[in-house]
């Protein structure tokens, strides 16, 4: 999937005019890219459109219009665009109650390494987590992690030929398996592979 360049972005003025329509388009797109993993965790699979939205929003919020600032945002978000043989996802641990969330984050250390996807008839694929920086300590994990799932060519081929996709978490304190992943999400993710 092609990385974003400055030429792909709207100016602040253009984005102000287009933002409601663009935001609606992205929100619709994201519906096919959010995979709930039980009641308190989710994978948000990123792609070029979701990252363009993130960059545009950061430029808007920070009022960034100079080339160096724009390039810094592109450098930060381009690594989250899949490369054609992988999926990149934001993994979120979602406990609405603050006290419960703090308690669970201390019990879920290492959970980011126990998230998996599995193409039927193949072994699980565990992610490479938090390549940019460590997001957990000895006392707790973070509520947000960035994951990269590298898919072997035979699994990519099987998915393109219709194989079902399964996802889950096999942490001692959080067990869930989604089998199969909903067709709309699976289809959206298969479109990322080339």
| Domain of residue 170, CATH code | 2.60.40
* 146 lies in the same domain as 193: yes
Number of structural domains (the chain) is: 2
- Classify 146 as helix, strand or coil: strand
DSSP 179: S
- The answer to whether 187 touches 32, Cβ cutoff 8 Å, is yes
Return the H-helix or E-strand segment holding 166: strand 165-171
- The answer to whether 39 touches 93, Cβ cutoff 8 Å, is no
The structure's pTM equals: 0.89
**Tens digit of pLDDT for each residue in 149-184?**
999 999 999 999 999 999 999 999 999 999 999 999
* 70 lies in the same domain as 143: no
Domain range holding 174?
38-45+85-194
* 186 lies in the same domain as 90: yes
* 95 lies in the same domain as 63: no
Q: In sequence order, what are the residues at sequence separation of 6 or more whose Cβ sits closer than 8 angstroms to the Cβ of residue 112? A: 91, 127, 129, 130, 135, 136, 141, 145, 147
The predicted pLDDT at position 184 comes to: 97
């Amino acid at each position: 999937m092609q990385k974003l360049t400055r030429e792909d972005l709207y100016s602040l003025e253009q984005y102000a005019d287009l933002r409601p329509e663009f935001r609606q388009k992205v929100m619709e797109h994201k519906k096919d890219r959010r995979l709930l993993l039980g009641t308190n965790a989710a994978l948000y699979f990123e792609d070029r459109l979701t990252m363009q939205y993130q960059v545009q929003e950061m430029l808007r919020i920070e009022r960034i219009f100079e080339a160096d600032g724009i390039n810094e945002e592109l450098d930060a978000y381009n690594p989250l665009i899949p490369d054609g043989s992988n999926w990149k996802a934001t993994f979120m641990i979602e406990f609405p109650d603050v006290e419960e969330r703090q308690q669970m984050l201390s019990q879920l250390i290492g959970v980011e390494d126990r998230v998996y996807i599995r193409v039927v008839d193949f072994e699980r694929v565990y992610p490479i987590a938090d390549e940019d920086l460590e997001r957990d300590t000895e006392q707790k994990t973070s509520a947000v992690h960035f994951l990269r799932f590298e898919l072997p060519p035979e699994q990519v081929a099987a998915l393109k030929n219709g194989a079902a996709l399964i996802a889950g978490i096999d942490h001692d304190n959080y067990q869930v398996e989604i089998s199969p992943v909903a067709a709309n999400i699976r289809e959206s993710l298969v479109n990322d592979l080339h």
